[in-house]
A and B are shown apart, each in its own frame.
Chain A
C-alpha cells in the first residue's frame, strides 16, 4: 500500500470501519511509515481528549417534560364514550372552521389570483371577529408565556415567539390555533383595557423582510410586517397609535410614547 492510499484510509482504520484486507494492509504500512503512525497517534490523543472533556450535552429536564407531554397528547389513550364524543365534536368544529375559512377565501379571491396582502388582512379580521364570539377567544388561557408557547408544540410546524407585555400595558391573555393564508397559524391574544388584540404569526414563504403596513377595514385596524421569516398580523378595534405601540414591542423596539 502506498502512503497516499494509507492516508486516505487511515481514518477508516482508526474508526474500525475497514474490511479485514485493508486493515492488514494498513497495519503492514504502519510498521514502516513514521508519518502515518504519527497521524494515528495524534488521532488517538484527540479522541482521548474529547472523551475526557465530556462534551456531550443531555436534554434539559424541561425539554424532556415537554416532549413527554407532547407524546401523551399525540397518542391519546383509547377513549371512553364521552371523550370520544368531545373529540368528534372538536374535530367537527375544526372542520367547520376550516370550511368557513376556505369559503371565505374563495369568496374574497377572484379565482386563480395569488393571495394578496389585502385579502389576508381581510381574512385576519374575519378570524379576529369570529374569535370574539363567546368562547372562541383563546384555546389556552394564560398570562404566562411559558405556558402559552409550549402549548403550540405539536400543533404547528413552527415555534411562535411568545412574550407577555403586561408591564407595558398589553397583558397576554392567551393563545389559540387559527387559519390564515391557507396555513395553520398561532394567534396570540393581548388585551388593552377593554380591547382585544389578535396577533397572528405564520412563517413567511420568502426570506425577505417586509416593512410595516397599516390599514383600516370595517372599523378594525390591521398592522402587518415580515421579519426573520415570520409574518405578523395584528388585528384590533384598538386605535392605531396604541396598536403601533404593541407592534413596536413585538419587534423589540422601545415605544416612543406611553
Chain B
C-alpha cells in the first residue's frame, strides 16, 4: 500500500471523527487544555496504528484509542475519578438498590418539566458531575448518537451493560439536575469557558 493511498483512507475514514475524539476527551478529563493534548496524542496514535485498522467502524476504533489515552491519564492525574469508576463497576448491591428506587418512584411530572427547562450551563455542570462510566456512556449515546453495539465495543462491556449504564446514568443525571434546580433555582446562565 502506498503512502498516498493510506493517507487518503485515513483522511476519509478517521479524520472526520476528530471532533468526536476531542469531545470524548473533553468530557472524560473535563478541562480543555488536557483534552487538546490527549485528543492530539490519540490522533497521532491512530495515524501510527492505522495500518492495523481492519475495517469495522472507524469512529468506534478511534474513540477506543481516545478512551485508552484518557483513562491512562486519569489513572495518573485523577485517580479519584477512577476509584469512583471501580466502585460503580463492582458494586451491584448499590446499583440494584438505585434501580429499585427508580422503579418505585418515577420522577413526577413537575420535575420532568423542570428538567425540560434547565439552562444549558446547568446541564453541562450536571453532566460533568456524573461518575465517569455513566458520563462517557451518555456522551457517546446522546452527543455522538452511537449505537449500543458501538458503545459496547469502545468501552469493552456487553450491550446489556451499556443499556443498564444508560438507565442509571440518566436517572442520576436527572437527580443531579433536580437537586441543582432545588438548591439554586434562579441561577444565572454562565458563560461556557
Contacts and interface: CB of A to CB of B under 8 A. Distances in A.
B2 A53 contact: no
Interface in B99-144: 99, 102-104, 106-109, 111-113, 115-120, 123-124, 127, 138-139, 141-144
B88 interface: no
B56 to A, nearest CB: 19
Interface stretch (A24-32, A75-83, A117-125, A135-143): A75-83
Given A11-B167, A12-B163, A63-B40, A52 B22 contact: no
Contacts of A158: 41
Contacts of A38: 106-109, 112
Given A11-B170, A42-B106, A50 B143 contact: yes
A154 B18 CA distance: 16
Interface in B70-112: 76-77, 99, 102-104, 106-109, 111-112
A146 to B, nearest CB: 12
A71 B48 CA distance: 9
B186 to A, nearest CB: 18
The SS class assigned to the B binding surface is helix
B113 A15 contact: no
Nearest to B77: A228
Contacts of B3: 75-78
A67 B66 CA distance: 14
Contacts of A46: 115, 170, 173-174, 177
Q: For chain A, which range describes its interface: under 10, 10 to 19, 20 to 34, or 35 or more residues?
A: 35 or more
A153 B115 contact: no
Given A38-B107, A153-B40, A45 B116 contact: yes
A46 to B, nearest CB: 6
Given A9-B163, A59-B18, A63-B36, 18 more contacts: A7-B102, A15-B148, A39-B106, A43-B170, A46-B174, A46-B177, A53-B119, A55-B124, A55-B139, A57-B27, A58-B23, A67-B15, A67-B43, A70-B43, A75-B3, A76-B3, A154-B47, A207-B76
6 contacts: A7-B102, A42-B106, A46-B115, A47-B142, A63-B39, A66-B40
Q: What are the nearest 10 A-B pairs in CB distance?
A: A53-B120, A75-B7, A59-B22, A38-B106, A53-B123, A45-B116, A75-B3, A56-B143, A57-B26, A154-B44
